[in-house]
Amino acid sequence: MNFPPWPKGKKLVHLDLKGAPPRIEYLHKLIELFSQLGADGLLVEYEDMFPYGGELSLLQATAHPAYSREVVLSIQDVAKSKGLEVIPLVQTFGHMEFVLKHQSLGGLREVAHCLGTLNPHREEGVRLVMEMLRQVVELHPGLQTLHIGADEVYLLGEGEESKLWLASPGNTVEKLFLSHVTRVAKAVKEAWPHLNVIMWDDMLRGMGHDTLKASGLVGLVQPMLWDYNPVLDVDNTVSLLEKYHSAGLSELWAASSFKGSTSVHSSVPGTQRHVDNHLQWLKVAASAPAAMNLQGIALTGWQRYDHLSVLCELMPLALPSLAACLQTLIHGQFSAEAQSKVTESLGISSVEVEAMQRTSAGDSLFAGRQLAELVVELTSLLNSEDMRYFESSMFVRGWFTPYHRQRKMVNPLITMQIQSQATMLLAVLEQKVEAVRGEMVRLYPDSTAQEWIEQHVSPVTAPLRRITEEITACLEEMMPSLAPQ
């Protein structure tokens, strides 16, 4: 496929800091790398890494320290020195898990068991959101653009106050959504008239032209259409752009993905999948009317699907994908020239992180390469048949079933072989895990390494450890002299 390059506007790299926040030295290197790879802006989702103060200080991360005010300013300084605009993203309606998880703020939830959605009827909720925005804006001198989130506002309308409100004639969930977002956007514009305000578009998609036109959002916000699918529906997306444009929402953004959108627990991204997503967005841009005012595209790199989900692909694993996606936008296709640019700049032989090999001993732009290589090796071992399906092997299912374990009556010859194999696998795995841990703590907080290992490694090792312990218990009861000393 060959399309014109991305037409105009910013190419923003999304930094999702609600998981695996890089140590500041590494983050500075990443920002420089993003610039060298072709980005011209950052969309920074600080979440609990922002140094909220005063009554909001409880929002700061506890597993590791939040970034200091000095660090937040240094991020902007490095970005500015490389010609990158910084756009903070602060959730103001949905995906407020990091705020509403706190019991003291639980009364501001729309529904008690949904930690992500703010109750739009409470004045305290609006004040909370505006104080979050105030602190973020004030720590970003010279800020031009702010993203207020507002995606995936789950269970909106299901709270008791919303049900009462919806019982009045003419009130709808759409109006309820629009009233809160409009109120926040207006408050932002009143406080900082010069700011451009971006919001995610998904809650607007099902709304009719007239509803959007009368929503109060026209002239206030710039919708950012997100779709991370490698086979996104181009015609439907163009129609959506046209609907927003004709309703008066004339300044529009796109959002693609270079990592964190394949599966919630994925550790290693596939570059081609993400390149295909960007090829589809190029097709959208080429098919959109010339009058369409595309402000730019955000290449999202999710670190978690939400604040409480598992860590997905770490940034070093996704740098080949990011480089490939940026070059696809710049060239209008993932041509041989674009691929060459990626492999040469990163010093790798393949754009797929699983297949990359060092092409030279010299330095390259690939900050975090060692961790990427180690995680690929470890993930391959974790997914191997011997490791993943050990409990389903013929020997375990034949000679060490729950029946055998409960009665502690086993064939010592075979169970000792099972134990020996499990112990050997665990030893090999432990060696690789320690190598990953050692490299990961250079780039990320210790707590991130611990979390990643517990989430991605422990579920595989736990059954193996349990089997070795249970075999020992059986042997000690049957033949104490045969039990490992």
The token pair at 287 is 């098919």
Among 33, 37, 60, 36, residue whose Cα is nearest residue 49: 60
Q: What is the side-by-side order of every strand in the sheet holding 196-200?
A: 85-88, 41-45, 10-16, 293-301, 251-259, 222-226, 196-200, 145-147
Whole-Å CA distances, 238 to 95, 258, 288, 367: 27, 21, 6, 37
Q: At what angle do helices 412-443 and 446-456 cross, to 10 degrees?
A: 150
- Among 32, 131, 152, 476, which one carries the catalytic annotation? 152
Please report which helix (H) or strand (E) contains residue 87, including its range.
Answer: strand 85-88
DSSP 213-236: HTSS-TTT-EEEEE---TT--HHH
**47 in catalytic set:** no
Euclidean distance between CA atoms 314 and 311, whole angstroms: 8
Instruction: Give the residue ranges of DSSP H helices in 167-270.
Output: 173-191, 209-213, 234-246
DSSP 105-154: GGGGBSSTT-SS-B-TT-HHHHHHHHHHHHHHHHTSTT--EEE------T
Among 148, 97, 90, 94, residue whose Cα is nearest residue 120: 94
Q: Which residue bears the tokens 């989130």? A: 149
Whole-Å CA distances, 277 to 225, 273, 388, 403: 13, 7, 31, 50
Rounded to 10 degrees, the C-alpha dihedral 130/136/140/144 comes to: -40
Euclidean distance between CA atoms 349 and 364, whole angstroms: 12
Q: What angle do CA 185, 169, 213 make, to 5 degrees?
A: 40
Whole-Å CA distances, 242 to 234, 236, 248, 249: 12, 10, 10, 9
Amino acid at 261: S
Q: What angle do CA 198, 204, 207 make, to 5 degrees?
A: 150
The token pair at 426 is 């665990």
Residues identified as active-site: 152
